[in-house]
Amino acid sequence: MAAQYDNLRRALLDHESDRLEIALDDLDELLRGLPKSARKYREWWTNNPLSQSHSRHWVDAGFHARPDLASARVVFERRAATTSPSNTTASAPGAEGALSRLPSVGTKLGHGSYRAPRTAPQANHALPVASSGDASVLTVRFSWSSVGRVELDDAGRVCFPDLPTGPGVYRFTFHGFPLRIYVGESTNLRARMSGYRNPHSNGQATNQRLNALFLEALGTGLSVDIAFVVAVEVGGLPANLADSFTRRLVENAAILQVRATSHEVLNQS
């Protein structure tokens, strides 16, 4: 699916004008399949890769989308120079290298970054510890990589695109209104997806709840995207998602960032 959106990205990069208006039927042909939700919900066209991972393909090309669903058309307009990363807020539209900030937690959004997680910092690069009474500020930066969509197979069972077998943090984005997001972490991303596909294999309540949400969304024509974290920095130093504390820190930072928006968090406290 990501390769299909690359067709749109390349078309926008090759487009010389600052404005491109295209019929959804023509876009459907370009993408070799436009989701039904793109024709029904303006939220699908949100210019924020955090909430709509597919939008990074036109945002990275320097454009914002402005849909006119009544006439089944969308206008892509070239953006002006973006704000510097240090001034970009969590609610702002995604931009190249944008840095989203929360109190005590910052998150670098991924826009085409596919770097693998780097090794953990060495002991001689320990983070400074604040003295008693001093404010402690810890900055967390991470990049998301979109891997495709959750779908239903011919038997009506939930199926997932291939994810890495290593540890990581993942995100499900349920399109619709409101946008719903679930963030999780696991020691084995691919094996974790099998739990959602076969929710009764171990009786875990989260597996059963998410499986029911997948079936409900996909059964009504909505789409569900998957992304996972591919690079992490904690306190300005590279961090390793093999460490459970790092995974939970990133997971909670991502959940807090969603809570700071109008989107619905599907994680239960």
Residue 163 belongs to a domain: yes
User: Looking at the structure, do residues 186 and 236 belong to the same domain, yes or no?
Assistant: yes
What span, in angstroms and rounded, lies between the C-alpha atoms of 185 and 218?
23
Total domains in the fold of the chain: 2
Residue 129 belongs to a domain: no
For the ranges 109-113, 119-123, 251-255, the one whose mean pLDDT is highest:
251-255
Residue 209 belongs to a domain: yes
Strand partners, 76: 20, 65
User: Looking at the structure, do residues 142 and 24 belong to the same domain, yes or no?
Assistant: no
What span, in angstroms and rounded, lies between the C-alpha atoms of 85 and 95?
9
More confident residue, 156 or 98: 156
pLDDT of residue 105: 34
What span, in angstroms and rounded, lies between the C-alpha atoms of 76 and 190?
35
User: Looking at the structure, do residues 251 and 177 belong to the same domain, yes or no?
Assistant: yes
Percentage of residues in the chain having pLDDT higher than 90: 45
Mean pLDDT of 30-48: 85
pLDDT of residue 131: 56
User: Looking at the structure, do residues 35 and 149 belong to the same domain, yes or no?
Assistant: no
Among 143, 112, 145, which Cα is nearest to 232's? 143
User: Looking at the structure, do residues 16 and 115 belong to the same domain, yes or no?
Assistant: no
CATH of the domain at 199: 3.40.1440.40
Whole-prediction pTM value? 0.55
User: Looking at the structure, do residues 101 and 71 belong to the same domain, yes or no?
Assistant: no
pLDDT of residue 44: 84
Domain coverage including residue 60: 2-78
Please determine, for residue 188, whether its predicted confidence score (pLDDT) is greater than 70.
yes
- The DSSP result for 1-67, as a single string, is -HHHHHHHHHHHHH--SSEEEEEHHHHHHHHT---HHHHH-GGGG-S-TTT-GGGHHHHTTTEEEEE
pLDDT of residue 231: 86
User: Looking at the structure, do residues 65 and 119 belong to the same domain, yes or no?
Assistant: no
pLDDT tens digits, one per residue of 216-264: 999 999 999 999 998 899 988 889 999 999 999 999 999 999 998 888 9
User: Looking at the structure, do residues 161 and 67 belong to the same domain, yes or no?
Assistant: no
